[in-house]
């Protein structure tokens, strides 16, 4: 057995140990999925208002959910790990993204290794992978306070110090096995809208949220865009799906090294509001399935899939089991905070009660079924009788209410709504309802460059 083979086996053992750690974590899948979706939707709303997109700070569970399957190591993958020493846990997470792994196999990782140290704490950007659609930033934190809770905000700036008009997500970092002086590591996943491209110079900023121990760490690095220059393939489709009477035009697919972007147009005359397509995947001629993780937009929507850029498929088949949606006439309703009466809205929606927490009002709702692989109840508009609008920054859920296991309790926080009384006008943005209606659409792929 060669030394090289032994090195691969040792690496596999370390990765498998990391996998076992993540597999032991209890993850509320629907909550994690909703955290990602809520962050993306919030970013999209900000963009439409011509404000910068807000950071989506998601739970570690959202990334843990990506970590399934077995661990196998190719020489290119082993080389990648060697370039980012000690980051096996992060590498393990992206290992399940076939598109990113193919990009790694094509040597598209840009090694950085730049550190900013302040007051004994340091942030290091170890490397990035980027193309015109996406950037993945690998980082480490050492000697920082409150790292377990990740009490930090992240900003991404261009070479002039301006906020990048992008959406991105990040999670609480994972620590290594060194209990005395642990190193925390994770990644920042950035997506670029169509009219935006990676900057020539990037600054990653970590800001402490703790006023007792303030601090700012900045890492500035050049971005080598030549690594993926010209790597973009546009596949025209212009086919219309009819799913349970709802028309969805599949306009085109754009293939990049790090992801595929599928652009669709929902017919404005549809009777239902479609929140998302269920169990969506692209299947190539060999039967390999390429997953989707999220989407942005409303009637005009971009759906993100793993990239099959380097596998060069001859055809792709878009498959799904239906969609999550609600009749448009059921999106708006009136809620009486005193009587708990709901006028309009979905017939199964109930108000259970409310409570004041600080300056906020928390309303408990009941919806049928579970949140398993489902959208949570969320709101795009909340107004009082005077027409004043309120933000609903987040919702949480717990299974059942009382002795009824067939319903889910959802608690929605109305920001600065502690003094509200009387009636509220509310508009639903997502709701945990599903329509079963399997569909399939073939997408021919021109294999010529």
- pLDDT of the residue at 176: 66
- pLDDT of the residue at 2: 53
- pLDDT of the residue at 11: 46
List 276's β-bridge partners, or say none.
Answer: 324
User: What's the mean pLDDT when you consider all of the chain?
Assistant: 80
- pLDDT of the residue at 44: 36
Helix-helix angle 3-23:75-83, to 10 degrees: 70
344: left (phi over 0), alpha (psi -120 to 50) or beta: left
List 110's β-bridge partners, or say none.
Answer: 128
* Per-residue pLDDT reduced to its tens digit, 160-200: 999 999 988 887 777 766 667 788 888 899 988 878 889 99
**Low-confidence spans in the chain with pLDDT less than 50:** 4, 7-8, 11, 14-73, 449
- pLDDT of the residue at 64: 29
Domains in the chain: ranges and CATH? 3-225 (no CATH), 233-324+435-444 (2.60.40.1640), 347-432 (2.60.40)
* Per-residue pLDDT reduced to its tens digit, 299-316: 999 999 999 999 999 999
Burial (0-12, 13-18, 19+ Cβ within 10 Å), 327: exposed
* Per-residue pLDDT reduced to its tens digit, 358-413: 999 999 999 988 777 788 899 999 999 999 999 998 888 888 665 567 889 999 99
User: b/e for 87-121, b at 16 or more Cβ within 10 A?
Assistant: bbbbbbbbbbbbbbbbbbeeebbbebeeebeeeeb
CB atoms within 10 A of CB 220: 15
- pLDDT of the residue at 394: 81
Q: How far apart are CA 224 and CA 228, in angstroms?
A: 9
Q: Which helix (H) or strand (E) holds 137?
A: strand 134-142
The first and second tokens of residue 258, run together, are 């790090």
- pLDDT of the residue at 9: 52
């Amino acid at each position: 057995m060669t030394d090289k083979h032994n090195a691969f086996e040792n690496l596999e053992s370390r990765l498998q140990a990391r996998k076992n750690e993540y597999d032991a974590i209890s993850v509320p899948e629907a909550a994690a999925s909703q955290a990602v979706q809520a962050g993306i939707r919030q970013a999209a709303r900000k963009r439409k208002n011509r404000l910068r997109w807000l950071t989506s700070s998601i739970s570690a569970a959202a990334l843990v959910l990506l970590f399934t399957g077995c661990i196998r190591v190719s020489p290119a993958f082993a080389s990648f790990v060697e370039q980012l020493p000690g980051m096996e846990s992060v590498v393990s997470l992206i290992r399940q993204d076939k598109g990113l792994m193919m990009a790694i196999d094509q040597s598209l990782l840009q090694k950085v290794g730049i550190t900013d140290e302040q007051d004994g704490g340091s942030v290091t950007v170890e490397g990035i992978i980027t193309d015109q659609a996406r950037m993945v930033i690998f980082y480490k934190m050492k000697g920082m306070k409150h790292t377990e809770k990740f009490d930090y905000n992240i900003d991404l700036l261009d070479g002039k110090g301006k906020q990048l008009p992008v959406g991105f997500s990040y999670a609480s970092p994972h620590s290594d096995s060194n209990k005395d002086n642990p190193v925390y590591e994770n990644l920042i996943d950035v997506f670029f809208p169509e009219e935006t491209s990676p900057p020539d110079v990037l600054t990653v900023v970590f800001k402490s949220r703790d006023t007792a121990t303030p601090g700012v760490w900045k890492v500035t690095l050049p971005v080598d865009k030549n690594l993926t220059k010209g790597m973009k393939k546009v596949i025209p489709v212009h086919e219309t799906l009819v799913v349970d009477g709802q028309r969805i035009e599949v306009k085109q697919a754009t293939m990049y090294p790090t992801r595929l972007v599928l652009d669709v147009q929902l017919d404005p005359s549809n009777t239902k509001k479609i929140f998302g397509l269920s169990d969506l995947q692209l299947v190539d001629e060999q039967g390999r399935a390429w997953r989707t993780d999220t989407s942005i937009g409303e009637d005009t929507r971009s759906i993100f899939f793993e990239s099959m850029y380097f596998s060069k498929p001859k055809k792709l088949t878009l498959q799904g089991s239906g969609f999550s949606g609600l009749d448009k006439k059921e999106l708006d309703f009136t809620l009486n905070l005193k009587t708990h009466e709901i006028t309009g809205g979905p017939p199964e929606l109930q108000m259970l009660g409310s409570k004041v927490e600080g300056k906020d009002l928390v309303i408990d709702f009941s919806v049928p079924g579970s949140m398993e692989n489902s959208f949570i109840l969320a709101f795009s508009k909340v107004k009082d009788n005077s027409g004043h609008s309120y933000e609903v920054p987040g919702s949480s859920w717990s299974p059942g209410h009382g002795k009824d296991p067939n319903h889910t309790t959802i608690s929605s926080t109305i920001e600065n709504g502690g003094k509200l009384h009387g009636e509220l006008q509310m508009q639903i943005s997502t709701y945990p309802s599903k329509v079963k209606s399997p569909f399939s659409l073939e997408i021919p792929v021109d294999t010529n460059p």
